[in-house]
């Protein structure tokens, strides 16, 4: 079974700060694999362990993405492709998806796995775009995966509960928390990764983005509620309790 | 023919609330652009929902056929593509649900048009649609501008708009959307949906819920939440982050993948207020938030917020409440 996994390298979201002066987000230099993508990698490795085959990791981005790909190779993937795209953050999701779809077309595959959404821009749009461009059936929010004969049996998490769906292969699946517990690279894996192929390829011509966006800023507070700040705990607590009594929420 | 198409979604319990939010957003965009407002409902046996949704709209499109009973990304994309071909709208707003966020980007790629995900506000500037979407964990927002040929697509984040009030009882005559589903559209099939287990009644029926999040740092510190719940005579809830970490049992999880609560008073302690959490509690009458981070999204839905350290503030609240009782 040939599996392609799409991963994105993102700044560590646990280290985002808001600059009080500008209201802008200050991102950490620490770059990691977007969290849902780790489930996609892990699931691909488990499928390979059970059914044989090859796992190819593809990511589009700047040279730093090599670190993310190397980590995926150390976890056990067979080969990695870095599609060089320095300005990936200035492109809209459809432009990125076109570049990724073009790469995927070059290799044989039975499954494409991706994350449910990226940690930084959280659009969740790249995988559905890719599925459409490759004319693949897609299933999102995948929490469980089994193969029965030629068919995928998938458990997903939706608003109304837990859903079981069936899909043929090839297909594109989007992974969320609960699918598995991603492994850490072993020392042996880290050594082995150094000898695995990591290809740098040029992106296919990028089509113009149809969406443009401003640099993210902290919103003006829109709450109509009362916010108390910079008060000693006892005083803040007194104000809250006074308010709770006014609203008749406590006696 | 121009127009703003707003897609409503029918779930297990009827029309999902986000349908009304999308409609409110769509109405404002339609007024700004001076274009008609068109509703769209798809499914099987959705007559009644369609009529309810269509009240007061300029046009109502309905795709009602057995294959659409359990919608998938592919079947919904086919419906939308057919409707867009008929109506040629300039903007299509879709619910930011699991389904909507599957088919909206799929549709965008099919038509080669832009799509903005999970938007919390819209405006029209110089004839172009702009949308606001939260990014980087929801603490900051980006303004997205659409350019070029439409239709321009966007999904609406649940819980970010006031639900539209039906403007009149009169519903326009439903227009059927003729959808030819291909074999490719039917590759994914839904076997079954097992409804969420309702949580223990003391949580879903409680008048007061006190919930704790990762801000409590350690499982033992949940004692603070339990103590506060006791003096407020409430039930204890939790975020997914702490349930995943094994601090609390799953039946206490509130949100998209947990239970939905709508108590009179909801107190969130060390909870950031992620959208997936908020959808499970935004029906609460009063939300009180205690969080160290003044930019935490939970403050946006709080009627009363305290920016401070839970380890200092919560004991002080308990003391003040007990003192008041004498
Ligand atoms: C498909 C999907 C479904 C999901 N379903 C759910 C769901 O059903 N329910 C749910 O809750 N989540 C759900 N989530 C997860 C959700 O996105 C958030 O990750 C989660 O709600 C965050 O939990 P939290 O607020 O406890 O943690 P965090 O986001 O880490 O927030 C902790 C907060 O504590 C504050 N804090 C830290 N120290 C202190 C202190 N000393 N005093 C006061 N405050 C402090 C911080 O400022 C921060 O705001 C889902 C996610 C996905 C992708
Ligand atoms: N630049 C990229 N390279 C490879 N995969 C990506 C890239 N951007 C997004 N993806 C994939 O698409 C998923 C959702 O990302 P997004 O649509 O940006 O929220 C990610 O979890 C990845 O699996």
Q: How far is the CA of A141 from the centre of ligand 2 (A)?
A: 14
Residues of A in contact with B284 (CB under 8 A): none
Among the partner residues B110, B146, B264, nearest to A249 by beta-carbon distance = B264
Residue identifier of the C-alpha nearest atom 37 of ligand 1: B215
Under the banding of pLDDT at 50, 70 and 90, the label for residue A137 is: very high
For ligand 1, say whether the CB of A179 is within 6 Å of any of its atoms.
no
* pTM greater than the 0.90 cutoff: no
Any ligand 1 atom below 6 A from CB of B260: no
Interchain CB distance below 8 Å, A125 and B115: yes
Query: If DSSP states are collapsed to H, E and C, what string results for A60-118?
Result: EECCCHHHHHHHHHHHCCCEEEEEECCCHHHCCHHHHHHHHHHHHHCCCCCEEEEECCC
| CB neighbour list of residue A191: distance below 8 Å, 6 or more residues apart | none
A251 or A1, which is more confident = A1
Q: What is the per-residue pLDDT for B173?
A: 95
Interface A-B: count of C-beta contacts within 8 A: 250
Nearest CA in chain A to B256: A159
Nearest CA of chain A to the CA of B173: how many Å?
30
* Residue nearest ligand 1's atom 30 by CA: B214
Pick from B82, B87, B53, B86: which is nearest to B65 by CA? B82
- Decide if B258 contacts B239 (C-beta within 8 A): no
For residue A96, the distance in angstroms to the closest alpha carbon of chain B comes to 11
pLDDT for A196: 98
- Which ligand 1 atom is at minimum distance from the Cα of B214? 26
pLDDT bucket at A246, cuts 50 / 70 / 90: confident
pLDDT per residue as tens digits for the range A164-208: 999 999 999 999 988 999 999 999 999 999 999 999 999 988 889
pLDDT in tens, A83-124: 999 888 889 999 999 999 999 999 999 999 999 999 998 899
Q: Which two tokens stand for residue B153?
A: 């697509």
User: How long is chain B?
Assistant: 326
- How far apart, in whole angstroms, are the C-alpha atoms of residue B263 and residue B268? 12
Say what the pLDDT of residue B199 is: 47
* Residue in A120, A164, A166 closest to B135 by CB: A120
Give the pLDDT of chain B (326 residues) as one tens digit per residue: 589 999 999 998 899 989 999 999 999 999 999 999 999 999 999 999 999 999 999 999 999 999 999 999 999 999 999 999 999 999 999 999 999 999 999 999 999 999 999 999 999 999 999 999 988 877 788 999 999 999 999 999 887 788 887 767 788 999 999 999 999 999 999 999 888 655 455 787 789 999 999 999 999 999 999 999 999 999 999 999 999 998 998 889 998 888 888 889 999 999 999 988 988 898 788 999 999 999 999 998 899 999 999 999 999 999 999 987 75
Query: Nearest CA to CA, how far is B170 from chain A (Å)?
Result: 30
pLDDT of residue A251: 77
């Amino acid at each position: 079974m040939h599996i392609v996994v799409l991963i994105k390298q993102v700044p560590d979201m646990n280290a985002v700060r808001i600059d009080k002066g500008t209201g802008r987000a200050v991102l950490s230099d620490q770059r990691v694999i977007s969290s849902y993508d780790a489930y996609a990698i892990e699931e691909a490795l488990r499928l390979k362990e059970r059914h044989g085959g090859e796992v190819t990791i593809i990511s589009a981005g700047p040279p730093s993405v090599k670190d993310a790909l190397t980590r995926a190779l150390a976890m056990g993937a067979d080969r990695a492709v870095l599609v060089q795209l320095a300005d990936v953050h200035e492109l809209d999701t459809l432009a990125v998806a076109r570049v990724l779809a073009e790469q995927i077309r070059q290799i044989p595959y039975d499954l494409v796995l991706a994350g449910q959404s990226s940690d930084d821009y959280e659009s969740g749009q790249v995988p559905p775009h890719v599925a459409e461009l490759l004319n693949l059936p897609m299933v999102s929010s995948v929490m469980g995966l089994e193969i029965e004969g030629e068919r995928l049996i998938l458990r997903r998490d939706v608003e109304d509960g837990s859903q079981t769906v069936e899909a043929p292969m090839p297909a594109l699946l989007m992974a969320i928390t609960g699918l598995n517990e991603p492994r850490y690279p072993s020392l042996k894996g880290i050594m082995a990764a150094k000898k695995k192929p990591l290809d740098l390829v040029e992106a296919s011509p990028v089509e113009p983005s149809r969406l443009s966006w401003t640099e993210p800023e902290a919103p003006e507070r829109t709450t109509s509620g009362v916010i108390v700040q910079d008060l000693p705990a006892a005083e803040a607590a007194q104000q809250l309790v006074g308010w709770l009594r006014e609203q008749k929420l406590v006696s | 023919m121009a127009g703003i198409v707003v897609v409503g979604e029918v779930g297990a319990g009827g029309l999902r609330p986000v349908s009304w939010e999308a409609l409110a957003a769509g109405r404002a965009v339609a007024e700004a652009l001076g274009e008609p407002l068109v509703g769209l409902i798809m499914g099987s046996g959705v007559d009644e929902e369609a009529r309810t949704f269509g009240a007061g709209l300029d046009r109502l499109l309905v795709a009602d056929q057995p294959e659409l009973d359990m919608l998938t990304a592919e079947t919904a994309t086919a419906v939308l593509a057919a409707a867009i071909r008929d109506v040629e709208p300039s903007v299509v707003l879709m619910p930011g649900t699991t389904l909507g966020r599957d088919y909206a980007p799929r549709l965008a790629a099919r038509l080669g048009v832009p799509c903005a995900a999970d938007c919390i506000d819209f405006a029209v500037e110089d004839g172009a649609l702009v949308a606001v979407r939260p990014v980087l964990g929801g603490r900051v927002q980006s303004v997205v501008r659409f350019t070029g040929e439409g239709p321009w697509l966007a999904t609406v984040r649940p819980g970010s708009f006031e639900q539209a009030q039906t403007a009149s009882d009169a519903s326009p005559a439903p227009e059927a959307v003729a959808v030819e589903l291909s074999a490719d559209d039917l590759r994914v099939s839904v076997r079954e949906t097992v409804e969420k287990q309702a949580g223990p009644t003391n949580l879903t029926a409680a008048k007061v819920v006190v919930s704790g999040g990762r801000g409590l740092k350690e499982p033992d510190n949940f004692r603070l939440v339990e103590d506060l719940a006791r003096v407020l005579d409430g039930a204890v809830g939790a975020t997914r982050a702490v349930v995943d970490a094994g601090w609390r049992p799953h039946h206490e999880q509130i949100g998209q993948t947990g239970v939905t609560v709508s108590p009179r008073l909801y107190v969130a302690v060390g909870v950031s207020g992620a959208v997936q959490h908020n959808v499970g509690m935004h029906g609460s009458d009063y939300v009180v938030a205690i969080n160290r981070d003044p930019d935490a999204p939970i403050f946006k839905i709080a009627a009363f917020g305290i920016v401070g350290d839970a380890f200092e503030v919560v004991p002080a609240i308990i003391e003040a409440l007990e003192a008041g009782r004498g």
